[in-house]
Amino acid sequence: MKFDEIVYERPDVKVFEEEFLQLLKRFKEAETFKTQDQLVIDIYQHRANFYSMYQLANIRFDLNLKDEFYDAEVAYLDENMPNYSKLTDKFYELLIESKFKNELSEKWGKHLFDLASFSVKGFDPVILDDLKLSNKLATDYTRLRGTAKIEFDGKLFDLVSIGKYLEDKDRDVREAASNAKWSFFAEKQSEFDNLYDEMVKVRHQMAIKMKCENFVELGYNWMKRIDYDEKMIDNFRKQIVDEIVPLIKKLREKQRIRLGYDELKLSDLRFHFYEGNPKPKGEPLVILDNAAKMYADLSKETGEFFEYLLENNLIDIVNRDGKAGKGYCWSIDKYAHPYIFACFNGTAGDINVLTHEAGHAFQFYQNRNIPIEEYRLPTSESAEIHAMAMEFLTYPYMEMFFKEDTDKYFFSHLNSSILMLPYFCAVDHFQHIVYKNPTFTPDERAATWTEMEALYMPEHNLGNIPYLESGRYWQSQSHIFSMPFYYIDYGLAMICALQFWQKSTKDRKEAWKDYLNLCNAGGTKPFLELLKVANVNSPFEDGTIKGIAQDLEKYIDTIDDSKF
């Protein structure tokens, strides 16, 4: 069924709960493994019926934030999603306690029971009202960002459409656009401060109710970090500081010389070349047509996948007034549909987000018929490997999008991939400190961010913008508000994806084989075990990051960037 043809029906929460409880009763009372095994499938189908309406409502709301109907539906579903979590938690408890646990584990794998255990540790009905409030606050943040009307050059822009001016060839234009963008956040500073203050407090309250020391512990349970912990994350961040931050200092100096500036301002950091950043050639629909050709050539599997997206209207990339300024891939489980959401703005980021989200969507497509929801999609750090590696594995096709600027794109994309690593760590480290100090004032949180910038991004020149100098750059990062502790997953995944870049420079076929094996494994294993399937070294392992940094530096040194 095409996306536009899917009928949204508000779920009757009371009926859904009654039917779910009946399925759970039958599961608990089942006298045979065969009966209980079938009920596992029935329960997942019942869950998909409800959750698909939540997915559909959110996507359609993001497509048009002015749509009052879906605005109300998202609010209704946000209010009731904790009830869904409560019922799911009961199922997990029964699954763990099942008298046929051994047989179920043999059929579906131990990983399902590990995931169920972490879910149980992450939820209790006692936090139901807090979860409802947390969901509402996250939606409020999206709505607040969506109100942006940025005056620039005599016109009004949103946070997406102003983006192309942030990469303009004219330095004065870039700086003016940057000032205009940050003026919106400065104007709304107290609202962002208050929103996050309320979020931190309600998340800490949930953690205490769940008998956790603080939200860090609960947040890790929510992220289902089965085979690594906080100490391993801390060591990862330290290695980024030791191996990547010095490399970035070198890259920034090359950038300064390349641009011919005495110093780099904040508004210069995204501008890599004196003659301008590479831009994709053609309008969004032309890009989409080229993407179809690219995926048809890349492999039989990707060709079928992308044709499926187009035939079923499962991709929307055009930026419009009222559309949420986001880029993501989600799914509509009942119909086994992946969905790609993006807002093109005429920058190289359009191609990045296209290939990135296509990586997510392709992995889901390969696993769309697995009845176990947790196995269709892996935990987030693994899922981001699919997305980031796809960006590198499509390098041979970039001439279709960038023409004469292809080499420039390669250089800037690889640079940007490296440059983001410390930022991922800064966002993560910031959240660890904030949630361990829930009584911090907004100004104390801002001071913490200033410390993170000094540690991870010493090259940031904040350009005398009071809002940024006050330590509030982080307020533009939606993950901090909506998906706590998610952001470091991009860093872990990037170190894995860069290994696919390394492989592809030596043997593209072998790299694709490993990537396909990883995608086909879906979410059937935890993070570190999936890396073994993909023949990828753990980002936590001493020497992994150092080896990548050395290869990147060697490669970059072979390129005469002065020609750009």
What's the CA gap between 95 and 39, in Å, rounded? 11
Q: 326: pLDDT confidence band, cut at 50, 70 and 90?
A: confident
pLDDT of residue 562: 84
CA-nearest of 352, 414, 407, 396 to 553 is 414
The yes-or-no verdict on residue 463 having pLDDT over 80 is no
Q: What is the mean pLDDT of residues 46-57?
A: 96
pLDDT tens profile 389-399: 999 999 999 99
What's the CA gap between 487 and 353, in Å, rounded? 16
Q: 268: pLDDT confidence band, cut at 50, 70 and 90?
A: very high
pLDDT of residue 82: 86
What's the CA gap between 295 and 316, in Å, rounded? 17
The yes-or-no verdict on residue 548 having pLDDT over 90 is yes
Q: For all residues of the chain together, what is the average pLDDT?
A: 95
3-class secondary structure, 2: coil
326 CB burial (10 A radius; 0-12, 13-18, 19+): middle
pLDDT tens profile 467-523: 999 999 999 999 999 999 999 999 999 999 999 999 999 999 999 999 999 999 999
Structure tokens that stand for 405 in this block = 């600027």
pLDDT of residue 146: 86
pLDDT of residue 538: 97
pLDDT of residue 259: 93
214 CB burial (10 A radius; 0-12, 13-18, 19+): middle
pLDDT of residue 73: 97
Q: Which residues contact 454 (CB under 8 A, 6 or more apart)?
A: none
pLDDT of residue 563: 84
558 CB burial (10 A radius; 0-12, 13-18, 19+): exposed
Q: 319: pLDDT confidence band, cut at 50, 70 and 90?
A: very high
pLDDT of residue 462: 84
In this prediction the pTM is 0.90
pLDDT of residue 556: 87
pLDDT tens profile 2-51: 999 999 999 999 999 999 999 999 999 999 999 999 999 999 999 999 99
The yes-or-no verdict on residue 251 having pLDDT over 80 is yes
pLDDT tens profile 10-21: 999 999 999 999
**480-367-124 Cα angle (round to 5):** 45
3-class secondary structure, 151: strand
Element (H, E) at 172: helix 171-187
Ranges of H-type helices in 312-404: 349-366, 373-376, 380-393, 399-402
Q: 219: pLDDT confidence band, cut at 50, 70 and 90?
A: very high
The yes-or-no verdict on residue 274 having pLDDT over 90 is no
Q: How far apart, in Å, do the first and last CA atoms of the chain sit?
A: 47
Please report, rounded to a whole number, the percentage of residues in the chain having pLDDT higher than 70. 100
pLDDT tens profile 128-165: 999 989 989 998 998 999 889 999 999 999 898 898 89
